[in-house]
A and B are shown apart, each in its own frame.
Chain A
C-alpha cells in the first residue's frame, strides 16, 4: 500500500493542497498510514473489509459540467443534484450553499474529538476533492432532497459536507445514493445543530454491486436540539455507515437508527457512537439487519456517558436475522459510563426467523416462503411505519419488496 505515492501523484487534483496548515495535517495523516499495520485483529473497524480496495486504489476525479439547486417555494423544499460531490452555490433568505472551504477543513481536523484514528476519515481528509456546506438560517423550517450522483466508472469521490442548522431551525433532509457504476464514494458529513434546532436526516442507499460507499457522519448537538438519523441500506455494493453524535448541551437528543438488507457476497459495516457530555440528554441507537446468502455484517454501538452527564437515558438495540447458513453477523454493543444517575441499556439478538411463528402462519395455510416474507416485514415494521413522508415510505416499501422477491 502506498498512500503517499498516490497522494503525491494527484496532489494538483486535490482540494487545499497549497494550504500550509493543511499540508502539515496531511503529512501527519500519511505518517499514520505508513506506521499502521492494518491489523484487522486489533482494529475491529476493519473487520470484513477488503483493504486493497480502499487503501491501494487508483485515484481518479472528474469535475462535472453541471450541478443544480432547484428551489420550490410552494412547499419550501429544495432539490439538489450533487454530481461527483459538487454542488452549485446558492443563497436565499432561508438557506445558503457554498463550496467547502479550507477553513471548514481546518475546523474539522482541529476539533475532531469524536474518533481520531478512523482510517477512512483520514483518507477522506487526505484526498478531499469535493463537498459543500449548507446553512439553514435561524428559525426556518425547510425540506431538502439531495441526489448524490457519480458520473463515470473508476471515479474516487472524497467529499466533505457541512450541515449547519442555526438556532430554532428545523430541517428534513433526504439523501439518496443510487449509483450503478464502478466507483467509490467516501463521504464525511459534519453536522452542527445549534440551540433548539432539529434535523431529520434520511439516508437511502441503493447502489449496485460495483459501487462502494463509505459514509461517516459527525454530528454535535447544542441545547435542546435533536438529531434524528435513519439509514436504509438496500445496496448490492459495500456500504460502511459510521455515525457519531456528541450531545454537548442540556436536553439534547440523538437518535441513530438503521436497517440493512444484504444478499449475495455483500458486506456492510455499521457503527453508531453517542457521547453524552451534558445532563438530561437522551440517545437511541437501533440497527436491524437481514442477511441472506453469504452476506456479512458488523454493527458496533457505543454509549459513552461523561461524569457530568447525569440523568442520561441511553438505549441500544441490535437485531440480526440470518436467512442462510453462510451469512454472518457480528455485533458489539458497548456501554461506557462514568456518571451514576443514568438509565442505560442495550439488547442484542441474532438468530433465524422464529420457527414457531413460521409454523403458526403455515398452519393457517400460508406457504413457507410467504410466511418468511411476512415475518421479515414485521421485523422492521416499526422502522417503516415511523416514516411520515408518504413518498419516501412508498419508495422504501418498493425496495423492500424487491429484496423480498429474492428470498426463497
Chain B
C-alpha cells in the first residue's frame, strides 16, 4: 500500500467540486438513462467513502427530499400542468377557474407523455439535490467552514456557533415541553406558547452566552499586535463591500450587454474582483489564527474534482453536439438514446469511489 492509499478524509472542497459537477450534468438533461446513471454514481461513491458520522447519516434525508420533489412535481402536473400527448392514462374532468385566473385549468385528462415529462423534470431537480446531499455526507460541513478564507473567519465562526446551538435548542424545547406536563399542563394550544417559549429562549440565551464567554477566555478574536487600527479596518471593510457591489453590477453588464453601456461589463467586473479580493486578503492578514491539521490537497483531491468537471463537461459537449439525445423524446414518445460524451463523463465521475484513499474508521473505545 502506498502512502496515497493510507486511509484519510479527503479535503471537503474536493467533494463539493465533484458534487457540483454532477449536479450541473443532472441539470442539463431529462434523459432518464443519463439521470439514472448520475444517481447510481452518486450513490456508489457515497456508500464507498462516507464515514459513520451524524452528517453522513443525513444522506438518507436528502434521498427522501429528492423523492418528495418528484412526487410534488407530478402532483402539480396533475393539478395545474399543461396536459399534452396522445396516450390517455387517467381521464379527469377539467375545471375552469373564474375569469380572474384566466388560462389556468385544474385537472383535465392526464396523458402519458405529459406525465413522463413532469416526472423527469422532477427527477432532474431531485437528483441535483441528492448530489449536493452526497457532498454533505462525504465532507463535514464544519470542516468546510474551516477551509474558508481568513477574512470570512468571523462569519464562519458565527455559523459554527449557530450550528452548535441549534441542536441544543431542539433538546431544550423537548425538555421544557416535558416539564409542562409536570405542572399539569398539556403543552398544547396557543396559551402554551409563552410557557414553552420563555424558558427555551432564556435557556438558549444562557447557553450562547456561556459559549461566547468560553470562546472569549480561550483567545477567540485576539488579533495580531500590530493591528491596522480602526481606520484601517474601515478601509478594508469598505473596499470589500464596494468590490462585491461592483462584481454584481459588472455581472449584470456581462450577462445583458444590450441594455447597459459597454464599460459596465468586463471592466467593472474586474475592478470589483480586485477590490473584493484585495480587501479579503488584507483582512485575512490581520487575523493570526492558525489551523491544526490543515486538510492537505493531494492528487486524490485533484482527481476527484476533475471527475466532477468531466461529468459537467461531457454534459455540456453532448448538449452542443447532440442536443436531441439529452432530452427524453416525448412527441412522439420513443426510447431515449445515450449521448456518448455525457455518459463517459458521468462514468468518469465514479472514479473517486475507487481511486481516493479509504475513509478512516473511528477507533473503537
To the question of whether A and B form a pair in one complex, the answer is: no
* A-to-B contact residues, CB < 8 Å: none
* B-to-A contact residues, CB < 8 Å: none
